Amino acid sequence: MVTVNENYLLLKSSYIFSEINRRVEEFQRKNPDADIIRMGIGDVTRPLPEAVVEAFHRAVDEMAEEETFRGYGPEQGYPFLREAIAENDYASRGVDITADEIFISDGAKCDTGNIQEIFGLDNVVAVTDPVYPVYVESNVMAGRAGPADDDGRYSGLVYLPCTEENSFIPSLPEERVDLIYLCYPNNPTGTTLTEKQLAEWVDYARDSGSLILFDAAYEAYIQEDGIPHSIYEVEGAREVAIEFRSFSKNAGFTGTRCAFTVVPEELEVPDSSGRMHSVRELWNRRQTTKFNGVSYPVQRAAEAVYTPEGQREIRESIDYYMENARIIRESLERAGLRYYGGVNAPYIWIRTPEGMDSWQFFDTLLNDAEVVGTPGSGFGPSGEGYFRLTAFNSFRNTVKAMERISELSF
Ligand code: PLP
């Protein structure tokens, strides 16, 4: 008889988004004229840059002609894109990453979810809390997390709380951990680590033999100096870190799908007998077995992100979202709310007012301002008492939503 992978039964239901929808629908039913503004979603709203669209069209035309048609491409991605990434995202910042350390994929979600497969099941996993849920749930599915308590805290994972009390800077773990997921700029808190703060983690990983899985999906939103765009800007990171990047949030590829993962050549992990294995080779083996590459037109479209026009256009979109973020921050201040993020990230993390939990604050904003955000408790136990707004809505809607919130007093 077929049996289920029982690890799947340990997953908590994705209660948060269905509960948000239920409450919003009920409110809309009772208030059919309500003009609800959704500021909870982490999806971009601006269209693809023109340079990207043109390259996309040209590549589709190539696929229509016998002479230029392409079938299966390299599973790791076409050299033209891997080289453009090595040159523009790394060499230009003085970081030495070669094209053959870069693996093109159809998303940082898949890569951050799949990467754990190449590591042993007995590895202890550490996650910051609150957290992008994919890191946790992919490890639950694999069997590394064990059962969860009522707060959704899995017994087999090490949680590194990031709250107001520690200025959202995770402390080094007291217990032994092997795989450490770090995401900076952070979703959901919108906070960042300085080079010095990140260097502490790199040093820790080097000393303890652990490995950092660094998600830099929001790197393009960094506005301030002194904040690393890549973990490889930190000395010694090549031996202890894998980096995930995406074209989703910098160039509007959430519906087009293109991302990449960097696995440096030096990165090695031992088997149970102590023999060392190249992580790049393991990831290459995994990808060539289970993945058949990103479509040619999409890779040409991603390549166009690095042209001068592409760069100018993506900068415009990021500036647009960050102007929204500025308006959100100023309005929250007027409303007397404490908040974090929104300076180097498109996320603003609000401390809920005294005596209000994440869901009570959700209901207040929905009822009194007709604005929808995401209760922080949905991102992990330490997210309780916080609330996430995103800068991804239109300028008009952001201004309208924030005028309404400014009028509330907390
Ligand atoms: N990593 C983080 C931290 C995210 O917030 C998201 C999307 O919201 C992703 C990865 C997913 O990126 P992609 O669209 O490349 O799958």
Domains of the chain: 4-45+308-405 (3.90.1150.10), 50-306 (3.40.640.10)
The pLDDT tens digits of the residues spanning 81-99 come to 999 999 999 999 999 999 9
The pLDDT tens digits of the residues spanning 59-68 come to 999 999 999 9
Backbone phi, then psi, for 213, in 5-degree steps?
Answer: -105, 105
Q: What is the mean pLDDT of the chain?
A: 97
- Ligand-binding site membership of 340 (annotated): no
Name residue 393's beta-bridge partners: none
Please say if the pLDDT value at position 15 is more than 80: no
* Ligand 1, atom 6: closest residue by C-alpha: 109
| Ligand 1: nearest atom to the Cα of 253 | 14
Rounded distance between C-alpha atoms, residue 130 and residue 335, angstroms: 24
The reported pTM is: 0.97
How far is residue 62 from each of residues 58, 66, 253, 284, 314, measured CA to CA in Å? 6, 8, 21, 28, 25
The pLDDT tens digits of the residues spanning 321-349 come to 999 999 999 999 999 999 999 999 999 99
- Which is higher by pLDDT, 130 or 13? 130
- Which is higher by pLDDT, 13 or 102? 102
Please say if the pLDDT value at position 209 is more than 80: yes
Mean pLDDT of 235-248: 98
| Ligand 1: nearest atom to the Cα of 259 | 15
Question: Separation of 108 CA from ligand 1 center, angstroms?
Answer: 5
Residue 13 pLDDT level (bands cut at 50, 70, 90): confident
Classify strands 157-161 and 179-183 as parallel, antiparallel or unpaired.
unpaired
- For ligand 1, is residue 188 a contact (CB within 6 Å)? no
